[in-house]
């Protein structure tokens, strides 16, 4: 076989291989244009949405008001299918109050969240106390801060004995809700805001000091 024949055969082989590669490339392009790759499966749905209405917020706060046991251990989770407790006893320096969790009621106004809970003692009987928290309005990211009254509204003797504890418990419930909302998204809580009937939870990247900035 002459050298020229070998060169011709090698050239034809090269052309054949090149044609196969071009054909495979064109087939891949056509396939991806007409049959795009399937999107990745969606992740599990968030259990805490970005916005909550009064009914959903009532349920969230009521569940979180159970608090911890007397020795500081968190309350055990309620088994699936079991109704949550409707009452819990709070203890503070030997004093006790019965908290009617099922009485929790929430009103969301513009820049204000009102939370009413019935408390009961032997001296006062059962009566509601209403906590008021002024927070940011829609589009106003004022952070995770609120202003409130010195004591909740309601029976004076009950408010003076248990009002601050109730305020702290309700605010801790709101902060816990904001933290859980952000944690589901692998973010940090940023702000709460309230418009009529809706509480919005805002989350974002954690805030850090820039190098050289003041602490």
Q: What is the pLDDT of residue 171?
A: 96
pLDDT at residue 74 greater than cutoff 60: no
Q: What is the DSSP string of the chain?
A: --HHHHHHHHHHHHHHHHHHHHHHHHHHHHHHHHSPPPPPPPPPPPSS-SEEEHHHHHHHHHHHTT-B-TTSPBPPPPPTTSPPPSEEEEEETTEEEEEEEEEEEEEEETTEEEEEEEEEETTTEEEEEEEEEE-B-TT----S--EE-SS-EE-HHHHHHHHHHHHHHHHHHHHHHHHHHHHHTT-EEEEEEEETTEEEEEEESPP-PPTT---
pLDDT at residue 9 greater than cutoff 80: no
3-17, 39-53, 108-122: the lowest-pLDDT one: 3-17
Q: Which residue has the higher pLDDT, 20 or 69?
A: 20
CB atoms within 10 A of CB 181: 22
Q: Which residue has the higher pLDDT, 9 or 68?
A: 9
pLDDT bin (cut points 50, 70, 90) of residue 215 is: very low
What is the average pLDDT value for the chain, to the nearest integer? 85
Cα–Cα distance, 201 to 191 (Å, whole number): 6
pLDDT bin (cut points 50, 70, 90) of residue 37 is: low
**Residue 48 contacts by C-beta under 8 Å, 6 or more apart in sequence?**
60, 177, 180, 181, 184, 201
Q: Which residue has the higher pLDDT, 117 or 4?
A: 117
Cα–Cα distance, 191 to 182 (Å, whole number): 10
Cα–Cα distance, 143 to 56 (Å, whole number): 22
Q: Which residue has the higher pLDDT, 87 or 214?
A: 87
User: 83-129: per-residue pLDDT in tens?
Assistant: 778 999 999 888 999 999 999 999 999 999 999 999 999 999 999 99
Q: What is the pTM of this model?
A: 0.73
């Amino acid at each position: 076989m002459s050298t020229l024949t070998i060169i011709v055969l090698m050239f034809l082989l090269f052309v054949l291989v090149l044609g196969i590669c071009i054909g495979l490339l064109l087939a891949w392009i056509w396939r991806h244009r007409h049959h795009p790759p399937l999107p990745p499966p969606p992740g599990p749905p968030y259990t805490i949405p970005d916005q909550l209405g009064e009914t959903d917020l009532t349920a969230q706060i009521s569940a979180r008001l159970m608090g911890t046991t007397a020795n500081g251990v968190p309350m055990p989770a309620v088994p699936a299918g079991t109704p949550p407790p409707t009452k819990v006893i709070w203890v503070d320096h030997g004093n006790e109050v019965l908290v009617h969790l099922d009485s929790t009621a929430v009103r969301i106004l513009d820049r204000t969240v009102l939370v009413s809970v019935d408390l009961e003692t032997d001296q006062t009987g059962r009566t509601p106390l209403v906590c008021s928290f002024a927070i940011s309005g829609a589009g106003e990211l004022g952070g995770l801060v609120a202003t409130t009254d010195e004591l909740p509204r309601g029976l004076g003797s009950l408010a003076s004995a248990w009002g601050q504890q109730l305020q702290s418990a309700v605010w801790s419930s709101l902060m816990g809700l904001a933290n859980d909302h952000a944690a589901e998204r692998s973010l940090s809580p940023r702000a709460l805001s309230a418009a009529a009937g809706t509480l919005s939870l805002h989350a974002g990247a954690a805030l850090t000091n820039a190098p050289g900035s003041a602490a």
